[in-house]
Amino acid sequence: MGAGGRLDFIEPLLPTLVEKPPEGGEWIHEVKFDGYRSQIVFDAGKVRIFTMNGHDWTSKYRDLAAAAKALDAESAIIDGEIVVLNEAGLSDFAALRKAITQRQHDLYFVAFDLLHLNGHDLRDMPLEDRREILHGLIEPDSHIQFSEALPGDAKAIFHLVDQAGLEGMVSKRRDSKYRSGRSTAWLKIKAFTESEFELLGVERENGKPAFALMAERGTGRYVGSAFITLNREMRERLWTRVQDHAGTAPKGMKRPATQWVKPGLIGRVKHLRGEEDLRHASLQDFREE
């Protein structure tokens, strides 16, 4: 609670990243949306929308704040994700940034948990009960939407999520209480995708695996490193190419164990979908520009 007993931002529960979805009937599974984790705090006729770090971004989300005022509640704290959907109905992170400044009407808040309602703290209630109450609050045609649970077996759901090009899924224990911070009561399982990046150089240290340092094509922005998983022949061909076209370090980058390379080498990288920078990334192949 904030000053004067008013509701205030609550530090969110953060899911733990795992490789495979959990099996069993004690879990519910939802789509993992590619947007900004956010929190609506509605109290005393006023709506505030916070980022996952507790920054008040209400002024950036005027239309969503107006939609939240229409909820059938005196006060509430709702956990969710702000997204923009593309023509295929998938959340589009690149379009989200543009919409915040230029197209407010394209923003949606996908609600997946309810922490407070009408003076009652619901965090000790089972998740399934909190979600049932939340579902009853939300009007079908609003820009605030309910995150529906996906029916079926966890493996089959993840396969469909992956095939659809979605970022991944989140699995949550039906009976879990809401506790701020990292938790294993919620698990996120992210799908992989492959993309092409410009190769800046190769980092090799004795006794450690080699990494390719990658940059965004067109901008040259460093996006992270990718573990080199190529077979021996391809590794040797890559290393020869790098040495033959040795370059200098990009401005501001100091990595003494790196052999930098001139522009013109493109790497195909497998990495977690929906991340701004490379995570769990591996170099699959490379080619000349």
Shared domain check, 183 and 53: yes
Parallel, antiparallel or unpaired: strands 181-190 and 222-228:
unpaired
Q: pTM, whole model, 2 decimals?
A: 0.75
How high is the pLDDT of residue 19?
85
Number of domains comprising the chain: 2
How high is the pLDDT of residue 64?
95
How high is the pLDDT of residue 257?
82
Shared domain check, 209 and 162: no
Q: What is the DSSP letter of 106?
A: G
Closest to 13 measured CA to CA, from 158, 192, 173, 190: 173
Shared domain check, 271 and 148: no
Shared domain check, 269 and 163: no
What residue ranges in the chain does DSSP mark as E strands? 13-18, 27-32, 36-43, 46-51, 76-83, 108-117, 120-121, 144-146, 168-173, 181-190, 192-203, 211-215, 222-228, 258-260, 265-272, 282-288
Shared domain check, 209 and 171: no
How high is the pLDDT of residue 104?
78
Catalytic hit among 32, 172, 188, 190 = 32
Look up the CATH number of the domain holding residue 197: 2.40.50.140
Shared domain check, 47 and 92: yes
Which of these three, 138, 168, 190, is where a domain ends? 190
Shared domain check, 169 and 62: yes
How high is the pLDDT of residue 128?
97
Which of these three, 146, 168, 190, is where a domain ends? 190
Query: φ, ψ for residue 258 (rounded to 5)?
Result: -105, 135
Domain that holds residue 243: 192-288
Which of these three, 153, 171, 190, is where a domain ends? 190
**Residue stretches of the chain with pLDDT short of 50:** none
Summarize pLDDT for 191-207 with one digit per residue, the tens.
888 889 999 989 888 77
Shared domain check, 10 and 146: yes
Shared domain check, 115 and 10: yes
Shared domain check, 182 and 251: no
Summarize pLDDT for 149-202 with one digit per residue, the tens.
999 889 999 988 888 878 889 999 999 999 999 999 999 998 888 889 999 989
Parallel, antiparallel or unpaired: strands 36-43 and 46-51:
antiparallel
Shared domain check, 200 and 155: no
Q: Active site includes 155?
A: no
Shared domain check, 202 and 124: no
Look up the CATH number of the domain holding residue 173: 3.30.470.30
